[in-house]
Structure 1
Amino acid sequence: MRRTLLIAMAVVVAVAAAVVGSFAYFGDKALSDLDRQEKECCWADGATPEWMSEVIGVEIPASATDRRAGYKIGSRLDTGLLAFTLPSNEAEKYLVALNPGGAVTVENLRPQPKDYKPAAAFAHLGLPEPETIREARRGGFCDGDLDSPEGKEANYCVKLFAHEFKPGSTRIYLRSTIEPAVSPLPTPIVSAGD
Protein backbone atom coordinates (compact mmCIF):
# COMPACT_ATOMS: atom_id res chain seq x y z
CA MET A 1 0.00 0.00 0.00
CA ARG A 2 2.77 2.38 0.91
CA ARG A 3 4.58 1.54 -2.32
CA THR A 4 1.41 2.22 -4.35
CA LEU A 5 1.01 5.58 -2.60
CA LEU A 6 4.64 6.52 -3.39
CA ILE A 7 4.22 5.53 -7.04
CA ALA A 8 0.98 7.54 -7.27
CA MET A 9 2.69 10.60 -5.73
CA ALA A 10 5.63 10.24 -8.13
CA VAL A 11 3.23 10.09 -11.09
CA VAL A 12 1.36 13.19 -9.84
CA VAL A 13 4.66 15.09 -9.41
CA ALA A 14 5.84 14.02 -12.88
CA VAL A 15 2.55 15.06 -14.50
CA ALA A 16 2.61 18.40 -12.65
CA ALA A 17 6.21 19.00 -13.77
CA ALA A 18 5.27 18.16 -17.36
CA VAL A 19 2.30 20.55 -17.24
CA VAL A 20 4.40 23.38 -15.77
CA GLY A 21 7.15 22.73 -18.32
CA SER A 22 4.65 22.77 -21.16
CA PHE A 23 3.18 26.07 -19.99
CA ALA A 24 6.66 27.56 -19.71
CA TYR A 25 7.69 26.33 -23.16
CA PHE A 26 4.51 27.26 -24.98
CA GLY A 27 4.18 30.53 -23.02
CA ASP A 28 7.70 31.57 -24.10
CA LYS A 29 6.94 30.49 -27.67
CA ALA A 30 3.71 32.52 -27.65
CA LEU A 31 5.58 35.56 -26.34
CA SER A 32 8.29 35.22 -28.98
CA ASP A 33 5.59 34.85 -31.66
CA LEU A 34 3.94 38.04 -30.35
CA ASP A 35 7.29 39.84 -30.35
CA ARG A 36 7.93 38.73 -33.94
CA GLN A 37 4.42 39.72 -34.99
CA GLU A 38 4.82 43.12 -33.32
CA LYS A 39 8.13 43.70 -35.12
CA GLU A 40 6.77 42.62 -38.50
CA CYS A 41 3.19 43.83 -38.24
CA CYS A 42 1.71 46.90 -39.70
CA TRP A 43 4.69 48.56 -41.32
CA ALA A 44 3.62 50.42 -44.47
CA ASP A 45 5.54 49.55 -47.63
CA GLY A 46 7.22 52.37 -49.51
CA ALA A 47 8.01 54.76 -46.63
CA THR A 48 11.06 56.57 -47.99
CA PRO A 49 13.09 59.11 -46.02
CA GLU A 50 11.90 61.86 -48.37
CA TRP A 51 8.23 60.88 -47.89
CA MET A 52 8.63 60.61 -44.11
CA SER A 53 10.40 63.99 -44.03
CA GLU A 54 7.43 65.54 -45.80
CA VAL A 55 4.84 63.85 -43.55
CA ILE A 56 6.58 64.94 -40.35
CA GLY A 57 7.47 68.31 -41.84
CA VAL A 58 11.16 68.22 -40.97
CA GLU A 59 13.94 68.88 -43.46
CA ILE A 60 16.69 66.33 -44.09
CA PRO A 61 19.98 68.15 -44.76
CA ALA A 62 21.40 67.58 -48.24
CA SER A 63 24.63 66.21 -46.76
CA ALA A 64 22.80 63.48 -44.78
CA THR A 65 23.81 59.91 -45.52
CA ASP A 66 22.47 56.50 -44.47
CA ARG A 67 18.89 57.76 -44.68
CA ARG A 68 16.25 55.37 -43.32
CA ALA A 69 12.51 55.63 -42.73
CA GLY A 70 9.56 53.59 -41.57
CA TYR A 71 5.86 54.13 -41.01
CA LYS A 72 3.98 51.89 -38.58
CA ILE A 73 0.20 51.76 -38.66
CA GLY A 74 -1.21 51.57 -35.14
CA SER A 75 -4.61 50.79 -33.74
CA ARG A 76 -5.06 54.37 -32.50
CA LEU A 77 -2.06 56.34 -33.70
CA ASP A 78 0.52 55.77 -36.41
CA THR A 79 4.24 56.33 -35.90
CA GLY A 80 6.79 57.71 -38.32
CA LEU A 81 10.50 56.96 -37.99
CA LEU A 82 13.27 58.86 -39.71
CA ALA A 83 17.02 58.43 -39.22
CA PHE A 84 20.09 59.71 -41.01
CA THR A 85 23.76 60.44 -40.41
CA LEU A 86 25.51 63.80 -40.53
CA PRO A 87 29.08 64.93 -39.93
CA SER A 88 29.10 65.80 -36.21
CA ASN A 89 29.74 69.54 -36.74
CA GLU A 90 26.74 69.73 -39.11
CA ALA A 91 24.65 67.66 -36.71
CA GLU A 92 25.24 70.23 -33.96
CA LYS A 93 23.96 73.05 -36.18
CA TYR A 94 20.96 70.93 -37.18
CA LEU A 95 20.15 70.16 -33.53
CA VAL A 96 20.28 73.84 -32.57
CA ALA A 97 17.79 74.57 -35.37
CA LEU A 98 15.43 71.88 -34.01
CA ASN A 99 15.47 73.06 -30.41
CA PRO A 100 12.55 75.36 -29.62
CA GLY A 101 13.14 78.61 -27.78
CA GLY A 102 16.76 77.98 -26.83
CA ALA A 103 16.13 74.51 -25.41
CA VAL A 104 18.96 72.01 -25.74
CA THR A 105 19.20 68.28 -26.19
CA VAL A 106 20.11 66.54 -22.95
CA GLU A 107 22.17 63.47 -22.18
CA ASN A 108 20.27 60.22 -21.79
CA LEU A 109 21.15 59.74 -18.10
CA ARG A 110 18.74 56.84 -17.60
CA PRO A 111 18.94 54.66 -20.68
CA GLN A 112 16.44 51.89 -21.18
CA PRO A 113 17.71 48.30 -20.95
CA LYS A 114 19.15 46.81 -24.16
CA ASP A 115 16.00 44.67 -24.67
CA TYR A 116 13.73 47.77 -24.65
CA LYS A 117 11.07 47.49 -27.37
CA PRO A 118 9.02 50.58 -28.14
CA ALA A 119 5.81 50.21 -30.14
CA ALA A 120 7.58 51.45 -33.28
CA ALA A 121 11.18 50.34 -33.01
CA PHE A 122 14.17 51.65 -34.90
CA ALA A 123 15.24 48.00 -34.96
CA HIS A 124 12.83 47.75 -37.93
CA LEU A 125 15.33 49.99 -39.74
CA GLY A 126 18.33 47.94 -38.54
CA LEU A 127 19.32 50.49 -35.90
CA PRO A 128 19.69 50.32 -32.12
CA GLU A 129 16.97 51.97 -30.06
CA PRO A 130 18.25 55.46 -29.17
CA GLU A 131 16.60 55.23 -25.75
CA THR A 132 19.05 52.42 -24.87
CA ILE A 133 22.19 54.45 -25.70
CA ARG A 134 23.62 56.33 -22.72
CA GLU A 135 25.73 58.59 -24.96
CA ALA A 136 22.67 59.64 -26.97
CA ARG A 137 21.13 63.02 -26.39
CA ARG A 138 17.38 63.59 -26.43
CA GLY A 139 15.05 66.44 -27.12
CA GLY A 140 11.84 67.16 -28.91
CA PHE A 141 9.48 69.69 -30.39
CA CYS A 142 5.92 70.02 -31.63
CA ASP A 143 4.29 71.76 -34.55
CA GLY A 144 4.48 75.51 -34.14
CA ASP A 145 7.55 75.37 -31.83
CA LEU A 146 10.17 76.12 -34.47
CA ASP A 147 10.94 79.01 -36.76
CA SER A 148 13.99 77.46 -38.42
CA PRO A 149 13.86 76.25 -42.02
CA GLU A 150 14.71 72.73 -40.78
CA GLY A 151 11.53 72.41 -38.75
CA LYS A 152 9.12 75.26 -39.37
CA GLU A 153 6.88 72.93 -41.37
CA ALA A 154 6.64 70.39 -38.50
CA ASN A 155 3.19 68.81 -38.53
CA TYR A 156 3.35 66.72 -35.34
CA CYS A 157 5.25 66.35 -32.10
CA VAL A 158 8.64 64.77 -32.67
CA LYS A 159 11.02 63.00 -30.30
CA LEU A 160 14.58 63.75 -31.29
CA PHE A 161 17.72 61.75 -30.49
CA ALA A 162 21.32 62.29 -31.55
CA HIS A 163 24.20 59.86 -31.12
CA GLU A 164 27.81 60.33 -32.18
CA PHE A 165 28.29 56.62 -32.88
CA LYS A 166 31.85 57.12 -34.15
CA PRO A 167 34.13 60.17 -34.04
CA GLY A 168 32.89 62.73 -36.54
CA SER A 169 29.62 60.93 -37.39
CA THR A 170 26.31 61.59 -35.64
CA ARG A 171 23.10 59.69 -36.26
CA ILE A 172 19.89 61.70 -35.93
CA TYR A 173 16.77 59.76 -34.92
CA LEU A 174 13.27 61.24 -35.24
CA ARG A 175 10.10 59.50 -34.01
CA SER A 176 6.71 61.12 -34.51
CA THR A 177 3.22 60.04 -33.50
CA ILE A 178 0.80 60.73 -36.32
CA GLU A 179 -2.98 60.71 -36.47
CA PRO A 180 -4.08 57.93 -38.83
CA ALA A 181 -5.54 58.81 -42.19
CA VAL A 182 -4.25 62.38 -41.99
CA SER A 183 -1.80 61.70 -44.78
CA PRO A 184 -2.18 59.12 -47.51
CA LEU A 185 0.07 56.12 -46.92
CA PRO A 186 3.22 55.85 -49.01
CA THR A 187 2.95 54.24 -52.38
CA PRO A 188 4.87 50.97 -52.40
CA ILE A 189 7.89 51.04 -54.68
CA VAL A 190 7.50 48.55 -57.50
CA SER A 191 10.55 47.42 -59.40
CA ALA A 192 10.53 46.96 -63.16
CA GLY A 193 10.58 43.17 -62.70
CA ASP A 194 7.28 43.09 -60.73
Structure 2
Amino acid sequence: MKNRRGAHLLAALTTALLLVSCSGCDQGDGPVAEGRDYQWDKEAGASDASAFMNVAIPEGATQTKGAVQINPQEDVYLLTFVTSEKTAEDIAEDLRPQEPLKAQKTDFAPQGELFAHLGLPEPQTLKGVRWAGVCPPCVSDHRRKKAQWIDIYVETLQADRARVYLQAF
Protein backbone atom coordinates (compact mmCIF):
# COMPACT_ATOMS: atom_id res chain seq x y z
CA MET A 1 0.00 0.00 0.00
CA LYS A 2 2.84 2.34 0.86
CA ASN A 3 4.61 1.59 -2.45
CA ARG A 4 1.43 2.24 -4.41
CA ARG A 5 0.98 5.64 -2.71
CA GLY A 6 4.64 6.49 -3.44
CA ALA A 7 4.22 5.48 -7.08
CA HIS A 8 1.15 7.72 -7.43
CA LEU A 9 2.99 10.59 -5.78
CA LEU A 10 5.96 10.10 -8.10
CA ALA A 11 3.66 9.99 -11.15
CA ALA A 12 1.89 13.18 -10.04
CA LEU A 13 5.20 14.94 -9.46
CA THR A 14 6.54 13.84 -12.85
CA THR A 15 3.37 15.07 -14.58
CA ALA A 16 3.60 18.43 -12.81
CA LEU A 17 7.24 18.84 -13.83
CA LEU A 18 6.41 17.92 -17.42
CA LEU A 19 3.59 20.46 -17.54
CA VAL A 20 5.78 23.20 -16.11
CA SER A 21 8.64 22.46 -18.52
CA CYS A 22 6.28 22.49 -21.50
CA SER A 23 4.45 25.67 -20.60
CA GLY A 24 4.63 27.87 -23.67
CA CYS A 25 5.38 24.95 -25.99
CA ASP A 26 2.48 25.88 -28.24
CA GLN A 27 3.70 29.43 -28.85
CA GLY A 28 5.67 28.36 -31.90
CA ASP A 29 8.53 30.82 -31.56
CA GLY A 30 10.13 29.78 -28.30
CA PRO A 31 13.26 27.72 -28.07
CA VAL A 32 11.50 24.69 -26.56
CA ALA A 33 8.82 24.67 -29.25
CA GLU A 34 11.32 24.34 -32.06
CA GLY A 35 13.74 22.02 -30.27
CA ARG A 36 16.54 24.57 -30.01
CA ASP A 37 18.22 26.53 -27.28
CA TYR A 38 18.22 29.98 -28.88
CA GLN A 39 15.77 32.65 -29.96
CA TRP A 40 15.84 35.73 -32.16
CA ASP A 41 15.67 39.16 -30.56
CA LYS A 42 12.61 40.52 -32.35
CA GLU A 43 13.56 44.13 -31.62
CA ALA A 44 17.20 43.99 -32.73
CA GLY A 45 18.29 44.78 -36.26
CA ALA A 46 21.09 46.09 -38.42
CA SER A 47 21.94 49.02 -36.14
CA ASP A 48 22.38 46.70 -33.15
CA ALA A 49 24.66 44.35 -35.08
CA SER A 50 26.59 47.28 -36.52
CA ALA A 51 27.11 48.77 -33.05
CA PHE A 52 28.25 45.46 -31.54
CA MET A 53 30.82 44.90 -34.31
CA ASN A 54 31.70 48.58 -34.53
CA VAL A 55 31.33 48.35 -38.31
CA ALA A 56 29.69 51.33 -39.97
CA ILE A 57 27.05 50.60 -42.57
CA PRO A 58 28.43 52.39 -45.64
CA GLU A 59 26.60 55.40 -46.98
CA GLY A 60 24.60 54.34 -50.01
CA ALA A 61 24.46 50.69 -48.94
CA THR A 62 21.29 48.90 -49.97
CA GLN A 63 19.46 45.77 -48.85
CA THR A 64 20.69 46.31 -45.29
CA LYS A 65 19.53 43.67 -42.81
CA GLY A 66 20.60 42.61 -39.36
CA ALA A 67 19.60 40.38 -36.50
CA VAL A 68 20.68 39.15 -33.09
CA GLN A 69 20.34 35.53 -32.07
CA ILE A 70 20.15 35.13 -28.28
CA ASN A 71 22.03 32.04 -27.09
CA PRO A 72 22.72 30.60 -23.63
CA GLN A 73 26.47 31.21 -23.84
CA GLU A 74 27.05 33.98 -26.39
CA ASP A 75 24.81 35.90 -28.75
CA VAL A 76 25.36 35.94 -32.51
CA TYR A 77 25.12 39.23 -34.42
CA LEU A 78 24.37 39.26 -38.14
CA LEU A 79 24.73 42.17 -40.54
CA THR A 80 24.46 42.21 -44.31
CA PHE A 81 24.25 44.87 -47.00
CA VAL A 82 25.13 45.54 -50.62
CA THR A 83 27.83 48.09 -51.38
CA SER A 84 30.64 48.65 -53.87
CA GLU A 85 33.29 45.96 -54.25
CA LYS A 86 35.97 48.42 -53.09
CA THR A 87 34.04 49.36 -49.95
CA ALA A 88 33.47 45.68 -49.13
CA GLU A 89 37.22 45.05 -49.41
CA ASP A 90 37.98 48.12 -47.28
CA ILE A 91 35.63 46.87 -44.55
CA ALA A 92 37.35 43.47 -44.59
CA GLU A 93 40.77 45.12 -44.33
CA ASP A 94 39.61 47.39 -41.48
CA LEU A 95 38.69 44.30 -39.44
CA ARG A 96 42.43 43.51 -39.33
CA PRO A 97 42.29 39.82 -40.22
CA GLN A 98 45.57 37.91 -40.16
CA GLU A 99 44.97 36.96 -43.79
CA PRO A 100 43.15 38.92 -46.52
CA LEU A 101 39.89 37.85 -48.11
CA LYS A 102 40.32 34.51 -49.84
CA ALA A 103 38.14 32.15 -51.81
CA GLN A 104 35.91 30.05 -49.58
CA LYS A 105 35.37 26.37 -50.33
CA THR A 106 31.70 25.55 -50.72
CA ASP A 107 31.97 21.79 -50.33
CA PHE A 108 30.80 21.78 -46.70
CA ALA A 109 27.54 22.57 -45.01
CA PRO A 110 27.34 25.62 -42.75
CA GLN A 111 26.67 25.09 -39.06
CA GLY A 112 23.05 26.08 -38.73
CA GLU A 113 21.03 28.54 -40.74
CA LEU A 114 21.70 32.03 -39.54
CA PHE A 115 21.35 34.23 -42.60
CA ALA A 116 18.26 32.26 -43.64
CA HIS A 117 16.57 34.18 -40.82
CA LEU A 118 17.20 37.31 -42.94
CA GLY A 119 15.90 35.62 -46.10
CA LEU A 120 19.38 35.05 -47.55
CA PRO A 121 21.41 31.97 -48.41
CA GLU A 122 24.21 31.04 -46.04
CA PRO A 123 27.36 32.68 -47.44
CA GLN A 124 29.37 29.47 -47.05
CA THR A 125 27.15 27.85 -49.68
CA LEU A 126 27.76 30.48 -52.38
CA LYS A 127 30.20 29.88 -55.22
CA GLY A 128 32.97 32.44 -55.50
CA VAL A 129 32.41 33.97 -52.07
CA ARG A 130 35.51 35.28 -50.32
CA TRP A 131 36.04 35.01 -46.58
CA ALA A 132 38.20 36.39 -43.79
CA GLY A 133 37.92 35.88 -40.06
CA VAL A 134 39.34 37.83 -37.18
CA CYS A 135 39.64 37.61 -33.41
CA PRO A 136 39.58 41.31 -32.38
CA PRO A 137 41.15 40.64 -28.94
CA CYS A 138 43.93 38.62 -30.61
CA VAL A 139 44.92 41.51 -32.89
CA SER A 140 44.49 44.15 -30.15
CA ASP A 141 41.59 45.84 -31.93
CA HIS A 142 40.20 47.80 -28.99
CA ARG A 143 37.54 49.32 -31.24
CA ARG A 144 35.79 45.96 -31.24
CA LYS A 145 36.31 44.92 -27.64
CA LYS A 146 32.81 43.41 -27.37
CA ALA A 147 33.37 40.91 -30.19
CA GLN A 148 35.35 37.72 -29.72
CA TRP A 149 35.21 36.72 -33.40
CA ILE A 150 33.99 38.27 -36.65
CA ASP A 151 33.51 36.47 -39.98
CA ILE A 152 33.20 38.53 -43.14
CA TYR A 153 32.05 37.06 -46.43
CA VAL A 154 32.03 39.06 -49.64
CA GLU A 155 29.88 37.88 -52.53
CA THR A 156 30.61 39.62 -55.82
CA LEU A 157 27.42 40.61 -57.57
CA GLN A 158 27.08 42.58 -60.82
CA ALA A 159 28.37 46.00 -61.88
CA ASP A 160 31.00 46.48 -59.15
CA ARG A 161 28.54 45.57 -56.37
CA ALA A 162 29.10 43.11 -53.57
CA ARG A 163 27.03 41.71 -50.75
CA VAL A 164 28.80 41.80 -47.41
CA TYR A 165 27.86 39.21 -44.78
CA LEU A 166 29.16 39.83 -41.26
CA GLN A 167 28.71 37.41 -38.38
CA ALA A 168 30.08 38.05 -34.90
CA PHE A 169 29.91 36.75 -31.38
**TM-score, L = length of structure 1:** 0.60
Match of 1:53 in 2: 50
Match of 1:90 among 87, 102, 111: 87
Structure showing greater relative contact order (alpha-carbon pairs closer than 8 Å, 6 or more residues apart):
1
Q: Distance in 1 between matches of 2:68 and 2:80?
A: 12
- Local SS of the residue matching 1:152: helix
Whether the 8 Å CA contact 2:52–2:144 is kept in 1: the answer is no
Q: Distance in 2 between matches of 1:155 and 1:120?
A: 23
Whether the 8 Å CA contact 1:99–1:139 is kept in 2: the answer is no
Match of 2:122 in 1: 129
Match of 2:101 in 1: 105
Q: Distance in 2 between matches of 1:95 and 1:146?
A: 16
Match of 2:16 in 1: none
Give the helix-richer structure, 1 or 2.
1
AA aligned to 2:92 is L
Asked if 1:155 corresponds to 2:146, the answer is yes
| Larger Rg over CA atoms | 1
Q: What is the percent sequence identity of the aligned residues?
A: 25
AA aligned to 2:144 is E
Match of 2:111 in 1: 118
Whether the 8 Å CA contact 1:55–1:155 is kept in 2: the answer is yes
- Local SS of the residue matching 2:121: coil
Asked if 1:74 corresponds to 2:71, the answer is yes
Q: Distance in 2 between matches of 1:80 and 1:125?
A: 12
**TM-score, L = length of structure 2:** 0.68
- Structure 2 gap ranges (5+): 1-30
Runs of 4+ in 1 over 4 A off after TM superposition: none
Alpha-carbon distance change, 93 to 55 in structure 1, aligned in 2, over 3 angstroms: closer
Q: How many residues align?
A: 135
Asked if 1:43 corresponds to 2:40, the answer is yes
State the Cα distance separating 1:92 from its structure 2 match: 2.2
